[in-house]
């Protein structure tokens, strides 16, 4: 095949003495040996051959010395037995400068600036660029121009003290920019130390003890704080605010971020400063009020000493808490323990502005099933006062343990269960909201009065009772059948649910004694009555069915005056009645 037209044909100089032209050789011609494509360069329009020999590897190139000539019209010709192709480049050497890379790079620095120096073999005015790699991976470019032989330099300012930077330099022609040189070798330079900038963020934990208080002080680097030095230490100073007593102080190395001091019940001013080889940082100050004063301020503001813990809820991003804003405070502080079950618990705190009344507290240490306690303080004039308490979970889980039934009281139709020692406190993996009691007879489904139906995954039907008060740890299941075997289980439930239903206990209800009494009444009493009646039948007959007496046998008729001939006669007139009852008026008239 005939050769392709040379692509990307271009010429440039690196030292103003030699010009190098480059191009791409194109596709394969499938010709070999003496038939391979041949390249030659010539000037146009004179057709004078350029004194260079082309060589091709990844791309083709050809170089020659240009003398004093500055304007060139160069044509490259590629030719084989099947044809030839050409490409032309017209250029001014002064406009095609590709500088050599800077070398022997070195620098001087202060705490805020780095001045770089290097050598370069080009005898022209250059425009140079410095690349600065920050510690966080961010790259900044700084430009400068007007460089002259024999040494070049550039100053990079606006840097941070005692910070390691990685820098390198490249240059291009200042007057007729053509392209950048390659980058120099990178150099790592650290700026000088300076006074620590900003303040430490400090906090405290106060524990009352005999004769005073133990104060645990904590500090961390605030967002605006920089150590600005190689070796850093901390200076903790405390003194009474009421009198001019001598301050006490302690110095701690950089490995510490807390310390404990003892103070009496007076008011104290505590300051913490960071120190490097140059100087101290600005002091961060806390005022610890007098023990009695703290109490008075607290009571006067809230009206009570006792703060109730309010429950808060977890979200996908953390634990959401809110508080009632108070206009007198200039900031709020929320503290908590990352590991509340350990000692030390890794106390953490976060500050908020006076216009903030809610926040989502997040921490990589937060895990589901652990209760976290939050204290909200208001701060004014470096004095902090406890305002509210919150407690909550990132996510509630079912209880770790089920209640253990410690006491069972049985009757023929009821059972009373007790689990008094079951804990419903922060040891649980969720807030215990109440209890469920599940009951079922062994041989049949449960349908006890007052219960709800609950069906397990295996189809077993249970009766379910709910206790909504977690402090109520006693329950009586009623309406049971006597002489029946039941299985029961007590489950605690939280906002995360309850554990699977298992580990039943079994009870047998006793016989109903009333049934026995009834049977006794039905059998024994009738039998006894029948026996007595048979034994005293004459007496019973006399009592229940007495004989009707004959008037002739009356003792009244035994008197002589009551006899008339052979008849016994009783005249009404012979009797004086005790009481006379008249049935009607007609009858009375007749009498």
Which whole number is the average pLDDT over 497-509? 91
Q: Is the pLDDT of residue 547 over 70?
A: no
pLDDT digits 0-9 by tens, 504-536: 999 998 887 665 555 566 667 677 777 777 676
- Residue 299: its pLDDT value, please? 44
Question: What does each C-alpha distance from 64 to 18, 41, 161, 414, 482 come to in angstroms?
Answer: 6, 11, 50, 113, 118
pLDDT digits 0-9 by tens, 406-424: 999 989 889 999 999 999 8
Q: Is the pLDDT of residue 300 over 50?
A: no
Residue 397: name the closest of 351, 430, 348 by CA.
Answer: 430
The pTM is what? 0.69
Q: Is the pLDDT of residue 73 over 50?
A: yes
- Strand 383-393 vs strand 309-314: parallel, antiparallel, or unpaired? parallel
Residue length, the chain? 591
- Report the range of poorest mean pLDDT among 129-133, 295-299, 330-334: 295-299
* Bigger pLDDT: 455 vs 301: 455
Q: Which residues are 236's β-sheet partners? A: 250, 272
Please, what is the average pLDDT of the chain? 85
pLDDT digits 0-9 by tens, 375-398: 999 999 999 999 999 999 999 999
- Residue 544: its pLDDT value, please? 66
Residue 544: name the closest of 526, 527, 532 by CA.
Answer: 532
Rg (Cα) of the chain, in Å, rounded? 55
Give all domains of the chain, ordered by start, each with its CATH number: 7-95 (2.60.40.10), 103-190 (2.60.40.10), 200-288 (2.60.40.10), 295-393 (2.60.40.10), 405-509 (2.60.40.10)
- Residue 15: its pLDDT value, please? 85
The backbone region for 292, taken as left when phi is positive above 0, alpha when psi lies in -120 to 50, beta otherwise, is alpha
pLDDT digits 0-9 by tens, 224-276: 899 999 889 999 999 999 877 899 999 999 999 999 999 999 999 999 999 99
Instruction: Label residue 297 by pLDDT band (50, 70, 90).
Output: very low
- Residue 111: its pLDDT value, please? 93
DSSP state of 581: -
* 501 in Cβ contact with 438 (< 8 Å): yes
Instruction: Label residue 296 by pLDDT band (50, 70, 90).
Output: very low
pLDDT digits 0-9 by tens, 197-238: 999 999 999 999 999 999 999 999 988 899 999 889 999 999
Tell me phi and psi for residue 388, to 5 degrees. Answer: -145, 160
Q: Is the pLDDT of residue 187 over 50?
A: yes
* 49 in Cβ contact with 97 (< 8 Å): no
Which whole number is the average pLDDT over 167-184? 91
Contacting residues for 14 by C-beta, under 8 A, at least 6 apart: 20, 97, 98, 99, 100, 122
């Amino acid at each position: 095949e005939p050769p392709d037209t040379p692509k990307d044909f271009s010429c440039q100089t690196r030292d103003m003495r030699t010009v190098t032209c480059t191009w791409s050789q194109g596709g394969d011609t499938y010709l070999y040996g003496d038939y391979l494509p041949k390249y030659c360069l010539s000037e146009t329009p004179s057709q004078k051959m350029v004194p260079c020999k082309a060589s091709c590897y990844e791309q083709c190139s050809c170089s020659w010395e240009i003398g004093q000539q500055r304007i060139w019209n160069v044509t490259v010709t590629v030719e084989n037995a099947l044809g030839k192709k050409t490409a032309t480049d017209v250029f001014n050497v002064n406009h095609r400068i590709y500088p050599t890379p800077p070398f022997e790079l070195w620098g001087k620095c202060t705490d805020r600036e780095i001045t770089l120096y290097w050598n370069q073999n080009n005898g022209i005015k250059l425009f140079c660029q410095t690349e600065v790699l920050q510690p966080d991976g961010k790259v900044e470019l700084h430009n400068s121009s007007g460089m002259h032989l024999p040494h070049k330099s550039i100053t990079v300012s606006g840097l941070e003290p005692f910070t390691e930077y990685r820098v390198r330099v490249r240059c291009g022609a200042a007057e007729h920019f053509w392209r950048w040189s390659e980058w120099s070798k990178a150099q790592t330079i650290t700026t000088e130390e300076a006074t620590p900038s900003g303040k430490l963020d400090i906090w405290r934990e106060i524990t009352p003890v005999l004769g005073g208080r133990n104060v645990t002080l904590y500090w961390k680097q605030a967002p605006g704080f920089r150590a600005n030095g190689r070796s850093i230490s901390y200076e903790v100073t405390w003194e009474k605010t009421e009198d001019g007593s001598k301050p006490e102080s302690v110095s701690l190395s950089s490995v510490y971020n807390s310390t404990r001091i003892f103070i009496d019940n007076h008011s104290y001013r505590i300051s913490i400063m960071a120190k490097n080889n140059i100087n101290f940082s600005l002091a961060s100050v806390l005022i610890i009020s007098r023990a009695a004063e703290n109490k008075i301020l607290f009571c006067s503001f809230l009206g009570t000493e006792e703060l109730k813990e309010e429950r808060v809820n977890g979200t996908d991003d953390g634990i959401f808490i809110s508080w009632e804003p108070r206009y007198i405070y200039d900031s709020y502080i929320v503290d908590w323990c990352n590991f509340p079950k350990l000692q030390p618990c890794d106390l953490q705190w976060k500050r908020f502005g006076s216009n903030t009344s809610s926040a989502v507290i997040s921490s990589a240490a937060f895990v589901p099933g652990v209760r976290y306690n939050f204290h909200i303080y208001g701060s004014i004039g470096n004095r902090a006062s406890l305002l509210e308490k919150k407690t909550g979970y990132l996510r509630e889980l079912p209880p770790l343990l089920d209640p253990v039934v410690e006491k069972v009281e049985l009757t023929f139709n009821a059972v009373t269960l007790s689990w008094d020692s079951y804990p419903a406190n922060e040891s649980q993996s969720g807030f215990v909201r109440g209890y469920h009691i599940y009951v079922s007879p062994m041989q049949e489904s449960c349908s006890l009065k007052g219960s709800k139906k609950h069906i397990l995954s295996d189809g077993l039907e249970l009766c379910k009772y709910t206790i909504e008060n977690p402090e109520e740890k006693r329950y009586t299941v009623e309406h049971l059948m006597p002489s029946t075997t039941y299985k029961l289980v007590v489950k605690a439930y939280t906002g995360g649910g309850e554990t699977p239903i298992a580990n039943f206990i079994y009870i047998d209800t006793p016989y109903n004694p009333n049934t026995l009494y009834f049977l006794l009444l039905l059998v024994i009493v009738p039998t006894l009555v029948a026996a007595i009646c048979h034994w005293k039948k004459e007496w019973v007959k006399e009592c229940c069915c007495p004989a009707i007496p004959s008037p002739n046998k009356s003792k009244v008729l035994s008197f002589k005056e009551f006899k008339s001939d052979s008849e016994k006669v009783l005249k009404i007139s012979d009797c004086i009645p005790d009481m006379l009852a008249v049935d009607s008026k007609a009858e009375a008239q007749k009498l």
